[in-house]
Structure 1
Amino acid sequence: MADAKTGLVLGYDGVHPFSKVALKDRDSVQDLLRTLLDPLEPFFSPLKSRVRMPGATAVRFDQTASEVEGICRPLWGLACLLAGGGEYHGTQWWVDGIRAGTDPESPEFWGYPRDNDQRMVEMCPLGYALAVAPVIWGSLTERERGNVESWLGNSINEKNMPNTNWLWFRVFANLGLKKQGGKFSQERLDADIEHLNTFYRGDGWSNDGPEGIHQMDYYSSSFAIHFLQLLYAKLAGEDEPARAEEFKKRAQLAALDLVHYYDKEGRSIPFGRSVGYRFAMVSFWGALAYADIELPPPLTWGMVKGIVMRHLRWWQTQHNMWSSSGTLTIGYSYPNMYMAENYNSPGSPYWACLAFICLAVPADHPFWTSEEEDPWPVIPQVKALKQPGHIMSNLGGHCMLLSSGQACSYPMKGTHAKYGCFAYSSAYAYSVPPGLFTLEQYALASQLGLSDDGGEYWKTRRLSQSSLETRNNTPVLVSLWSPFPDVHIKTYLLPPTPAAPNWHLRVHHIAAAGREVMTADGAFAICNERTPDGRYLDLYDAAKGEGTQPRLIGNYDLSTPEAWAAGRDGAFAVSKGAVGIRALEGEAGGRTATLVNADPNSNLVESRTTIPTLQGRVGKGESVWYVSAIYAKPSGEGVERTSYLDGWERVPEIPGWLVEEMKGK
């Protein structure tokens, strides 16, 4: 590591200190956090109130707010460290920064928030830090405390906020002041919590918004709602036992669902927006321990600890997520602006520090004293989750969710990919479109696209009417959607079975009443790099256990015969495991199989990918059934390369009930 004036610089083949920490206990997780905080030092402003992260990208809010993110989001980690009795040599940077940032006479004043201001979000970690780290409030003079009260309490209590999880941020602004005896509004705090309770839908789940919105992603759990409910239960439980008990009860119910989102390798399932917050996906589990939750059977503290520790270790293997200065970048496994939201500033990724809530858990808690365990032997292999509208599976070497087709409340960039895909996998992340011209740019992984202009522009599922049903004791997701006003689709999603653990079924009935459409049904995206030299995959070679079938041809070359196969034969790609797709409707659908060479940087984890795809055409006035079988067998510990395609020839059967429904349509 370079000195403080130059910061941490990662050169050719450089490895971040984050990846060098041997994670085994509480002390090592403290060290892991310090490797995130240390590289920030050169980017503090002279009075320490702002952190200007590397990268000059703009967001929908002003530059000052972006730099307030830069100082406040890492405060999640520092506050958790201090709350658990840990130490950090740079703690005074944050104390000085809060002092200058809340002083209206300071040249580095943060500015009072306007309605719906990003500053309100950053008040949440500051409120929590005040509540659990007395060194901050104790270091301030009476005048400086008044400035904090004015900026943190009065200003936010007078402003409008989005009708979403944001309301929790105002709760914590008031709670932090309350815990230190500062001026706050109990009336506003109570009103916000009562309104947030209207988001509750049952079974432990809250929606990220009011009626009419179906959005239950990581904001409903680890990023905001459940996480903050648990922190509130811990901090306010003595004064409000009934409210705290309700939040704990919700967490117990949700835990039995959320455990299905994390696999044996430590990966979580990327789903929804803001996944650039990375290891914040696991913060719910540390918050369970922090709030002293009694775990619902069959979960144990060893299982909870295992989920957290394996998750952090997996992120330690993602060496490309850092800037050359050692700071987190916008992206997921590597820097990627295509998947970023319009609110992702260079400082935004440090919401990941929520994961370090486990450091606020005492060393003698069973979270820390238990041996790591794996939950998969004792929880269901397939489970339907009523509230989010998901069918979860841990068959076939990865965790996967089949999605009913949620939707963000506004049409954000790539929203159809973040919420509308049919399947999301812990092993094969979703892809976002880096452009809007041809299949290569749309990168339709786990999506059905339709084009009415010969293949230039494509439309996919974004809004749908969906239901979670049961057929022959098996959960099935059914959704109705219309990519065009006169093209109507009914989609069935069927999970893997023990007999065919690497397959799931995707069945579409397409009624193209008013126009002719081309169709493209994509499997998962997989790494498109061969092992010896990183060049694109060749034709499949069984001896090497790598390649594609049919042959992968360069972008936009659609006329080469060897790039196509019959739909029944399908298409597959083998690199880091294997993915593929086959048409089970036979020749009736008239589809053919090929490999789409997706544009680079479209996928969250792999920067170069290919997508096995079935393509077809539905004439104006026609009605057809498509039955797609999607194959996935990831690489992993103990999985031999020669076994990646072991299940490819064991194609699942179409269930009898579905055959009958297809006949009756």
Structure 2
Amino acid sequence: MNNFKYAFLIGFVFLTTSAVTHAQTGKKKKVNAITSGAQDRAFWVKTLYKIAYPVIHNLAGNTLKKNMATEVAPHYYNNVREVGYTEALGRTFAGIAPWLSLPDDETEEGKLRAKFKAETIQALSNAVDPLSADYINFRTDAQPIVDAAYVVQGFLRAPNLWKALNETTQKRYIAEIKSLRNRTGAYNNWLLFTAIEEAWLLSVGEDYEPYRTMTAINKLNEWYVGDGWYSDGSSFSTDYYNSYVIHPMMIDILKVMVAKKKMGELQLTKATERAARYAQITERMISSTGEYPPLGRSVTYRTAAFQTLGQIALDGKLPKELSPAQVRCALTKVFENMYAGNQNFDEQGWLVLGFNGHQPEIADPYTCTGSLYMATLGFLPLGLPADNVFWTATAAPWTAQKAWTGNAFLKDHSAGK
């Protein structure tokens, strides 16, 4: 635990050092201009669409392999032509699924969503059609284990899109997911990828392998280090994998297991409470100006760092210490810093390797263009309808804003084990 506490302290030193540069000694600093929830939502929709459009539009038109950028990290070790397109689809779909799951309506957003939903259904169909120019790889290499997991997580988040696929396409997905059973991956968060694939098969009435789901659930419980944090394997490292993978997939697996009466509610309740605590911590990691520390592996996944916070908001499980309005406003400011400009996109609209700009030197050796679409996972609250309190509540300052302007804010408390 000592290395855990030390590493975590480093992160907060970075955060507070950044924030103090924006504080005024002895004065209350003005916070950002107030915008309405409707304005925030419109910006989120525009931004998510901008990120996801090149992947979905090209895959729907059978031009993904023709047009997609294939930038790779220094010392990249995968075969980008075999795994990069699968990454792009899975990661994009898991992030846009909650938004696309909303019912159609005649608003401007609703019309855009309906059009994009139709393109997504076509893209999903092309991806598993052996005669398609964009038939993507689930059958070889280890990496598709990861990205098939995000595909099925998308189906779990938007079951109406699964039902919209024709029977042939559904059978193809089931076959592709089952084909992954002949491979294994790392003994860490990768356990959750195979587990969610099996849980999804169970959810659609297929045979599943209980050993894979229970191994992941049991090992992650063993790797829980306390206060909302899981270790990613036997040794702890300070990064955002608790948001990229661990909390969201753990919850989504347990939802299926509970719904199918394979487990009791207690496990899901415990996992949700842990995720809520982690969400509370990550909200505090957003500085008063909407920045957050680029800690650990895979920071090129950008706003996926807030997937757990977004999922807890989407599920209506925010702890009482976090108002929906402050979460919305904090994330809006982060998204503005990341995406209001074009620093993270190339001339054709594809994401570029980096954190906030083109910074390929920080990319890990498993990272390519397709990997970057994890960024969509930060936008899960768009699955809440526009009349939800998350979007209708008056704008509110988030924790760092209140703290650094001399206003009252809640003292933080560890959740312990």
TM-score for the superposition, normalised by structure 2: 0.76
Report the residue type matching 1:218 in the other structure: Y
Query: After alignment, is 249-258 or 62-71 more displaced?
Result: 249-258
Distance (Å, rounded) in 1 between the aligned partners of 2:86 and 2:134: 10
More helix by share: 2
Give matches, 1:49-448, under 5 Å.
52-57=67-72, 59-62=76-79, 63-85=81-103, 87-103=113-129, 108-114=134-140, 117-152=142-177, 154-210=178-234, 213-220=235-242, 222-232=243-253, 238=259, 239=261, 240-296=264-320, 298-371=321-394, 372-376=396-400, 377=402, 378-380=409-411
2:51 aligned with 1:32, yes or no?
no
The Cα of 1:237 is off from its aligned counterpart by 5.1
Partner of 2:20: none
Distance (Å, rounded) in 1 between the aligned partners of 2:385 and 2:333: 20
The Cα of 1:76 is off from its aligned counterpart by 2.3
Partner of 2:406: none
Distance (Å, rounded) in 2 between the aligned partners of 1:170 and 1:250: 22
Report the residue type matching 2:184 in the other structure: N
Report the residue type matching 2:389 in the other structure: P
Distance (Å, rounded) in 2 between the aligned partners of 1:45 and 1:308: 30
How many pairs align? 360
Report the residue type matching 2:87 in the other structure: E
Larger radius of gyration: 1
Kept in 2, the 8 Å contact 1:131–1:176? The answer is: yes
Identity, in percent, stands at 23
RMSD: 3.1
The Cα of 1:53 is off from its aligned counterpart by 2.4
Report the residue type matching 1:244 in the other structure: L
Kept in 2, the 8 Å contact 1:101–1:110? The answer is: yes
Structure 2: where are the runs of 5+ without partners? Answer: 1-36, 104-109, 403-408
Distance (Å, rounded) in 2 between the aligned partners of 1:48 and 1:237: 40
The Cα of 1:325 is off from its aligned counterpart by 1.0
Structure 1: where are the runs of 5+ without partners? Answer: 1-21, 388-665
The Cα of 1:146 is off from its aligned counterpart by 2.2
Distance (Å, rounded) in 2 between the aligned partners of 1:52 and 1:199: 41
Distance (Å, rounded) in 1 between the aligned partners of 2:85 and 2:312: 31
Report the residue type matching 1:292 in the other structure: G
The Cα of 1:183 is off from its aligned counterpart by 4.2
The Cα of 1:132 is off from its aligned counterpart by 3.1
Give matches, 1:423-502, under 5 Å.
none
The 3 A distance-change label for structure 1 pair 96 and 262 is same
Kept in 2, the 8 Å contact 1:74–1:350? The answer is: yes
Kept in 2, the 8 Å contact 1:53–1:327? The answer is: yes
The 3 A distance-change label for structure 1 pair 234 and 150 is same
Distance (Å, rounded) in 2 between the aligned partners of 1:312 and 1:171: 31
Report the residue type matching 1:278 in the other structure: R
1:513-538 C-alpha deviation (Å, 9 max, x unpaired): xxxxxxxxxxxxxxxxxxxxxxxxxx
SS of the aligned residue for 1:338 comes to helix
| Higher-RCO chain (CA-CA 8 Å, sequence separation at least 6) | 2
Report the residue type matching 2:227 in the other structure: D
The Cα of 1:52 is off from its aligned counterpart by 4.9
SS of the aligned residue for 2:86 comes to helix
Report the residue type matching 2:48 in the other structure: L
Kept in 2, the 8 Å contact 1:306–1:373? The answer is: yes
Report the residue type matching 1:174 in the other structure: E
Report the residue type matching 1:341 in the other structure: D
TM-score for the superposition, normalised by structure 1: 0.49
The Cα of 1:200 is off from its aligned counterpart by 0.9
1:124-161 C-alpha deviation (Å, 9 max, x unpaired): 22102222334543344434322211111x22334212
Kept in 2, the 8 Å contact 1:53–1:70? The answer is: no
Kept in 2, the 8 Å contact 1:262–1:307? The answer is: yes
1:325-356 C-alpha deviation (Å, 9 max, x unpaired): 12210112211221111111112111000011
The Cα of 1:386 is off from its aligned counterpart by 8.9
SS of the aligned residue for 1:302 comes to helix
Distance (Å, rounded) in 1 between the aligned partners of 2:349 and 2:134: 25
Partner of 1:554: none
More strand by share: 1
Distance (Å, rounded) in 2 between the aligned partners of 1:333 and 1:363: 29
The Cα of 1:48 is off from its aligned counterpart by 5.9
Report the residue type matching 1:126 in the other structure: V
